[in-house]
Amino acid sequence: MQGKYLETYQSWMGNPEAFWKTQADRLDWFKPAEKVFDPEAGVYGRWFTGAETNTCHNCLDRHVAAGRGEQKAVIYDSPMTGAKKSYTFYEVLAEVTAIAAVLKNHGIGKGDRVIIYMPMIPEAVFSMLACARIGAVHSVVFGGFAAHELATRIDDCNAKAVISASCGLEPGRIVPYKPLLDHAVDMAKVKPEYCFVLQRDELHAPLRYEHGDVDLAQAVEVERVNGTAVACEPVAATDPLYVLYTSGTTGQPKGVVRDNGGHMVALAWTMENIYGVKPGEVFWAASDIGWVVGHSYIVYGPLLAGNTTIIFEGKPVGTPDAGTFWRVVADHDVKALFTAPTAFRAIRRDDPDGDFVRKYDISGLRALFLAGERADPETIKWAEKMLKVPVIDHWWQTETGWPIAANPAGLGLLPVKYGSPAVPMPGYAVDVLDDAGHPVPRGTLGNIVVKLPLPPGCLVTFWNADERFRSSCLEEFPGYYKTADAGIVDEDGYVFVMARTDDIINCAGHRLSTGAMEEVCAMHPDVAECAVIGIADELKGQIPCGFLVLKHNVNRDFSAIQREVVQLVRDEIGPVAAFKTVMKVERLPKTRSGKILRGTMQKIADGMPWKMPATIDDPAILDEITDVLKKHGHG
């Protein structure tokens, strides 16, 4: 391997602090760092200690000051409503300032937590930037989560305010957000002082003024008329910019904390070097602001680097058809597209011969990036054939915030190995260890870990839970961050990510906790015990499948129980859980110490080779599971 990638990686390895200092110098700081990296600070050290900055300033004001004010910063394209609108950097700055003024006038300031529960509309992005502007810490909650999940997050981060909208739009249905928000606020132990609600034309929501509801658009209008100016609040580089919750092994999600300084340095570097886009070009991450892809590559990365970003309110198929991505690429001259493999599997299913691709002029597109789940070689090859541009699988996590491994378009593409997201990016020293923590030879399967310290932009801790961060990510392999992904690094240094080492499954690019689903299934009065595993699915990669053991005295029709359990998970976790497959079993297979053999069940369900676990209590139960799965068409 040679060329600019190797040169850059080696330059980072030779002197990580000098490497990141050079990148930091391209951004604005109100006060320079005393130390580029301080190993004594935080859980594993902190980047740019002593520095002061503001992320919103670097996303907006800096560009306006540099003459980029008239360039499009944000394009909103909604096949759900037919709306298309673009905002220049200058206009985004005005919108963000007005929301920042509203927040400030309601007493929200530096360090306060603000939950953002919004669909894919420009105000969602403006709200995130408004929080950054005043130094408040935002926590975006994906719209597909139900009230209970929202309440958990309000409580965990002790939210002072919530910014929401009256509704979201899913194909064929309006999703009323306000009843979910009201229910969450009623459930939460911590009551936010204010809920700012944007009324959408599709559905107006009754506001509960007595609970602190504020009509967001009206409040913004007042600030706009008054021309209220809100300067960017200087924050420490190490102050939190946001908390983003991600599934843990239990129902209690983990609040990934991202700082201001390291985050902006890392993301700004990635836009040109990994994604190969220059300032002024259009970058489109077809995801949702509720996920880390949305944070990093709909909002912060592109804006920090002076790119135009797209807020897309639609789906890859059905809004109105499998050509919608190509229509957006053509209409807005997208240079690089980032999405999840699931989206492409859906497009391929509906348009196998690429008839829709040929309908549009997508000659401006230079590359497609895939992440969020394993990109199967078939999907990659289909996309390469249809789009005739490099299709780049890359691997990262909510925790890291930016790619651990990629084929860096900006540094010069390396040869593709199908099934591999290519090579570690500068900042990441990737190793593979056995369960005892010893490095394994190249090409051997093991635990993928990253040598500490993590680079700028990665999580610094979990919100209010340093100990949980240490115990779940840093303790098992001292000196390393545990990715909880298993895989190999081959002779050429290419990483192959094969499976999770915990109970997290990946369904349609969404990380879901089967443990959390089990907790909900167990709430049903007829369920004695249960197990939820992820089983292979052609479209979504994996889907959750519940195995229920009913209480002895239950004589009810199982289909009714099935419906109720499915609804319970939908109500408690949300539609995003995609929990629709439930089977009745007499017993669950366990080890003699009582551990459910989920891994073996999953192998049977997916028709993979499996071995009888030596510690199994009653081997006959696996035959029963096999029969039930076969009856449902699996295994």
Contacts to ligand 1VU by CB under 6 A? 119, 143-144, 168, 170, 175, 287, 291-293, 315-316, 340, 342-343, 346, 371-372, 396-398, 508-510, 540, 575-576, 578
Nearer to ligand 1VU, 146 or 282 (CB): 146
Determine how many CB atoms are found less than 10 A away from the CB of residue 206: 11
Least distance CB 507 / ligand 1VU (angstroms): 6
Alpha helices in 360-426 (DSSP H): 377-387
Least distance CB 288 / ligand 1VU (angstroms): 6
One-letter identity of residue 145: F
Least distance CB 142 / ligand 1VU (angstroms): 6
Judge contact between 532 and 517, C-beta under 8 A.
yes
> CA quadruple 261, 271, 120, 517: dihedral positive or negative?
negative
Partners of residue 164 on adjacent β-strands: 117, 197
How many CA atoms, within 13 angstroms, populate the side-chain half-sphere of residue 464? 9
Nearer to ligand 1VU, 95 or 313 (CB): 313
Cis peptide leading into residue 16 (ω within 30°): no
Least distance CB 552 / ligand 1VU (angstroms): 33
Least distance CB 83 / ligand 1VU (angstroms): 17
Nearer to ligand 1VU, 285 or 628 (CB): 285
Nearer to ligand 1VU, 119 or 410 (CB): 119
**SS3 call for 303:** helix
The residue whose two tokens read 């229509």 is 327
Nearer to ligand 1VU, 167 or 596 (CB): 167
Nearer to ligand 1VU, 238 or 398 (CB): 398
Least distance CB 483 / ligand 1VU (angstroms): 12
Least distance CB 380 / ligand 1VU (angstroms): 16
Nearer to ligand 1VU, 228 or 319 (CB): 319
One-letter identity of residue 631: K
The residue whose two tokens read 């809004």 is 319
User: How far apart (Å, rounded) are the C-alpha atoms in residues 326 and 528?
Assistant: 49
Judge contact between 615 and 594, C-beta under 8 A.
no
410 secondary structure, DSSP code: G
How many CA atoms, within 13 angstroms, populate the side-chain half-sphere of residue 282? 22
Least distance CB 317 / ligand 1VU (angstroms): 8
Nearer to ligand 1VU, 532 or 597 (CB): 532
Cis peptide leading into residue 453 (ω within 30°): yes
Nearer to ligand 1VU, 232 or 543 (CB): 543
Least distance CB 93 / ligand 1VU (angstroms): 27
Least distance CB 617 / ligand 1VU (angstroms): 35
The residue whose two tokens read 């944000």 is 74
Q: Which of 484, 557, 524, 611 is nearest to 546 (CA)?
A: 524
Q: Beta strands 308-312 and 254-259: pairing type? A: unpaired
User: How far apart (Å, rounded) are the C-alpha atoms in residues 8 and 425?
Assistant: 9
User: How far apart (Å, rounded) are the C-alpha atoms in residues 358 and 326?
Assistant: 9
Alpha helices in 524-617 (DSSP H): 558-572, 598-605
Nearer to ligand 1VU, 570 or 603 (CB): 570
Partners of residue 367 on adjacent β-strands: 336
Partners of residue 167 on adjacent β-strands: 176
Nearer to ligand 1VU, 32 or 575 (CB): 575
203 secondary structure, DSSP code: B
Nearer to ligand 1VU, 168 or 306 (CB): 168
User: How far apart (Å, rounded) are the C-alpha atoms in residues 293 and 400?
Assistant: 11
479 secondary structure, DSSP code: T
The residue whose two tokens read 């130390």 is 35
For residue 438, the Cα-to-chain-centroid distance in whole angstroms is 31
**SS3 call for 232:** coil
Nearer to ligand 1VU, 237 or 317 (CB): 317
Least distance CB 357 / ligand 1VU (angstroms): 17
Cis peptide leading into residue 619 (ω within 30°): no
User: How far apart (Å, rounded) are the C-alpha atoms in residues 158 and 178?
Assistant: 20
Least distance CB 284 / ligand 1VU (angstroms): 12
Least distance CB 537 / ligand 1VU (angstroms): 10
Nearer to ligand 1VU, 120 or 235 (CB): 120
Least distance CB 120 / ligand 1VU (angstroms): 7
